[in-house]
Structure formats: C-alpha cells, structure tokens
Copies of this chain bind each other. A is one copy, B any other.
Amino acid sequence: MINKVVSGPEEAISDIENGQTLMLGGFGLCGIPENCINALVKKGVSGLTCISNNAGVDDFGIGLMLQQRQVKKMISSYVGENAEFERQLLSGELEVELIPQGTLATRCMAAGYGMPAIFTPAGVGTEVAEGKEVRNFNGKDYLMEYAFEADFALVKAWKGDTAGNLIFRSTSRNFNPVMAMAGKVTIAEVEELVEAGSLDPDHIHTPGVFVHRIFQGKGYEKRIEQRTVRTRN
C-alpha cells in the first residue's frame, strides 16, 4: 500500500498558498477539520476562497480564519451564527456566494466523479438561477451547475489508515466524503490513525485513492453548537 502519513497539520498544509481555493468538510461545527484550521490560522495564509457549507462561529472553526482576515470569499449554503462574518460582509471586506446545500454537495461530488457539470432543479426561478443555463427534462426545469475545483480539500474523519482510507462517525460524515473526492490535494485528519489492514474494506467510506495526506489530529474540542436535551421522567 501507498503510505500517505504526514507528521501533523503543519506539514499537511505547508504548501497551501495565498489566494488558493480550499474545501473544508463539516456541517455547522460537526466534523470540521479542527487541526488543519488551527494550523492555517497559525500559518497566516490569506486571500483564500473557502468552499464550506457553513462559516463556523466567531471563535471556532472557519470563524477563527475570518477573525484573521484570511478569507477573501466564502462559498456556502448557510452563514448565520457569526458576528464577525456579518461585519466583514456588510463592510465589503468579504465576498460571499450563497448556493443551495444540495447544489453545494453535488458540485463537490461531480468533481470527485469526473463529471464537469450536473443538473439540479434547486434554484430554478430564483436569483440563484441568474446567468445559469436552464434546461428542461421531461417537463421539469433544471439548472446546469459546474463541478467545483479546489486546490485543497481538508476533511476530518473518525478513523483512517496509513493508506488513506477513511471512516466517518455518525453525522460528522456530512460533506467530508464528497469533499475528500474533490480536492486536487486532499488532506485528512483523523481521530485515530491505524495501520493499513486494520479497517474492514467493506466499512470504508472514502477509499484511500482520494486522500493524499493523512495524520492523527490532537486535542479535538468537537464543540456543540446547539445543545438540546430532554429530561428523564
């Protein structure tokens, strides 16, 4: 097997440069590449275009990169819960492209599947459709949406092996597998890194061929955005 292991987040992201396009896995704060984000903040790289469903909160996730003014443009489906984000957007410092969540996921998938474009009905007849090709199939209108291109995809998995195979846990899977397939370079951080051969081939969510670098992350905070509970009767 091909060994993809790197020493840690610093080495993994060392060649990310100003102005590049990154995909970041996660939904809300769930399943985000915490170690890579922290390393990007430390490195101070800027002018980034970030493709991510959300933009974190003020003091966690992509919010940390926003505070450092490292992000030039966000491509997301939902960007609430972030005061600094709002300030930068209203002041014109930050550019935002909002696209439907399913379109976002499918454009990532399209890149991973080598499909240059896909058709979706999401956004037909709305401002999302402006400037886009509309095509009718079987009486229904669809927008043609292009596959994303990202210089790097940063994803977070639960377990991974030295060959780059990934297994995600529960709903922290979300955008991670489709983004893992879509990066020109894909960096995976995992809670537990094991030897190739330790994972059941039938359980693997992302085959190692899509992953270029992998490392075991440290100090996962896994912050909860909306803690909702019920009480025992």
Listed in ascending order, the chain A residues whose CB lies under 8 Å from chain B are 106, 113-120, 137-138, 140, 142, 146, 167-170, 173, 201-203
Q: Are B167 and A202 in contact (CB under 8 A)?
A: yes
Q: Are B113 and A106 in contact (CB under 8 A)?
A: yes
Q: Inside 8 A of A142's CB, which chain B residues have their CB? A: 116
Complex CA distance for A140 and B118, rounded to whole angstroms:
16
Q: Inside 8 A of A106's CB, which chain B residues have their CB? A: 113, 115
Complex CA distance for A114 and B122, rounded to whole angstroms:
11
> Smallest distance from the beta carbon of A171 to chain B beta carbons, Å?
9
Complex CA distance for A75 and B203, rounded to whole angstroms:
31
Label chain A's interface by main secondary structure: mixed
Complex CA distance for A138 and B114, rounded to whole angstroms:
12
Q: Are A137 and B116 in contact (CB under 8 A)?
A: yes
Q: Are B118 and A137 in contact (CB under 8 A)?
A: no
**Which of A137, A168, A169, A202 has the largest count of B CB atoms less than 10 A from its CB?**
A202
Q: Inside 8 A of A167's CB, which chain B residues have their CB? A: 202
> Smallest distance from the beta carbon of A118 to chain B beta carbons, Å?
6
Complex CA distance for A225 and B142, rounded to whole angstroms:
43
Q: Inside 8 A of A115's CB, which chain B residues have their CB? A: 106, 118-120
Q: Which residue of B lies closest to A168 (CB)?
A: B202
> Smallest distance from the beta carbon of A229 to chain B beta carbons, Å?
21
Q: Are A170 and B202 in contact (CB under 8 A)?
A: yes
23 contacts between A and B (CB under 8 A): A106-B113, A106-B115, A114-B120, A115-B118, A115-B119, A115-B120, A116-B119, A116-B137, A116-B138, A116-B140, A116-B142, A117-B119, A117-B137, A118-B118, A137-B146, A167-B202, A168-B202, A169-B202, A170-B201, A170-B202, A173-B202, A202-B203, A203-B203
Further contacts, 5 of them, CB under 8 A, given A116-B140, A167-B202:
A114-B120, A117-B119, A118-B118, A170-B201, A202-B203
